[in-house]
Structure 1
């Protein structure tokens, strides 16, 4: 893949795009109380963080942890998954203009390459969340849509002039009693503060190319530390997937003949498991 090297004109377009597509609901107004998260660690206790098990009677995100409240996850391609919540809210990750048969309600994007974002999102998409802030500083998203809560954890991104602070976002999706994380185009190991901000992840989507993002050993270290019940590889090019799997010898491996899985808190595997979806 050819690296995305933005010109001054394309940077201006990205800035205008972000300013026009960031929905008001995705922004946390100054002084407004942040919605509770059942996944996030308490940052002040780093490195010995404990986890918040949030309850929100108003949104009904986490009360029902039964087998029937199923979340569907479908691999579309590259770094794009579609997450469909128990109530039917759909999210497309690292959206570059295509999400299969789904017209998503929410899309998240990162700017590392043009295959991770689009300048022309369909206007029918209600919420478009870029993982960077063209005005400087970190992007900040705190969005509730139906039974889905979306938030981001900024990370740095590698460019031609070195590392750009806050140029990438890890997005966390909380729905149906699950904590689902998408690492985006991650270029560095995570800090204790990053792990604390992310919190518990039942499911994590991990780039495994080993070069365009970061090394497979580094990604394996992150997956080991998060100890998610399910690891979903993505962003693989021609290298054999076994090179990444070898970095996680204590994880089980499943290779379903499908691009989709159905998950609930009750059906999470007891042993951490890498699930290689069809097409990866």
Structure 2
């Protein structure tokens, strides 16, 4: 084989640079079953978008429930249980089924899409829906036998809004597999259970954060399930921790920190 010439090397470098800097790569959507986490494309996905399309409003309703509101007025609630609910009826709700604080059998009939993180009929739960500027898809995970679970009995839900990707880990009980990470894709904001006992240990939660590498981590699922302070003591060595005074955080692409930060929101409900 002939040695590579300097011209060939320059051409290959130019091609690689185009792949990394191409607008489509910089504004790449959250991926289901795609390969954004492969080395080259994973780096490209973290470049700021040229023109942010608006802000996303996140409200911590309580326990594992967050209200997500988009620039075009779409809304979603995570781990919808019929108790920690917003004033209006959301368009989309996600649920998980380890126990009744994460789902309800009687969701409001005005909800357009009810997405269960498990399949009541058995088999693989599969969702990928879009309403206005909001897309939601799931990645099946496992729940420990203590909660009557097993393989594919829970889900990580990913919310794609404009050029932001938000993931809710649900009642995750384990470190994520490579396949699950590929399906989840690039994540900007991550909701993580930090109880340390009924979901993951604190060490596992920190390991999952390191796997996903989000820009913002928002803790959930603590209080009577476990102390938030115990998690923060372990996390402080690796991450900046900031406490918000209220339950609401407004996020856009340009407001994301350069390195991963943990933002603690005050829940609207103590349940």
1:261 correspondence with 2:249: yes
Corresponding position: 1:117 with 2:119: no
- TM-score w.r.t. structure 1 length? 0.77
Could you say which residue in structure 2 is the equivalent of 1:242?
A: 229
Alpha-carbon distance, 1:188 to partner:
1.0
Distance 1:209 1:223 in 2: 15
Provide the rounded CA distance (Å) in 1 between the counterparts of 2:36 and 2:162: 27
Tell me the CA shift for residue 48 of structure 1: 5.2
Aligned to 1:59: none
Which residue does the alignment assign to 1:192? 178
Q: Distance in 2 between matches of 1:42 and 1:48?
A: 16
Q: Is 2:153 the partner of 1:177?
A: no
**Counterparts of 2:36 and 2:258, CA distance in 1:** 27
2:6 aligned residue? none
Provide the C-alpha distance between the structure 2 equivalents of 1:147 and 1:92, rounded to a whole number of angstroms.
15
Kindly indicate whether the alpha-carbon contact (under 8 Å) linking 2:98 and 2:149 is maintained by their aligned counterparts in 1: no
Cα deviation per residue 1:183-242 (whole Å; 9 max; x = unaligned)? Answer: 000011111111111111100000000111110110011112211110000000244323
How many residues end up aligned between the 2 structures? 237
Superposition misfits of 4+ residues, deviation over 6 angstroms? 44-47
Shift of the alpha carbon at 1:143?
0.2
Which of 50, 53, 58 aligns to 1:73? It is: 58
Q: For residues 250 and 38 of structure 2, what CA distance do their matches in structure 1 show?
A: 33
2:37/2:186 contact within 8 Å kept: no
Unaligned runs of 5+ in 2: 1-27
Q: Deviations over 1:66-102 (max 9, x none)?
A: 2x60100000000000000111100000000131323
Question: Which one has a larger percent helix, Structure 1 or Structure 2?
Answer: 2
What is the rounded CA distance, in whole Å, between the counterparts of 2:40 and 2:109 in structure 1?
41
The Cα of 1:163 is off from its aligned counterpart by 5.2
Instruction: State whether structure 2 residue 30 is matched by structure 1 residue 39.
Output: yes
Q: TM-score, normalising length from structure 2?
A: 0.80
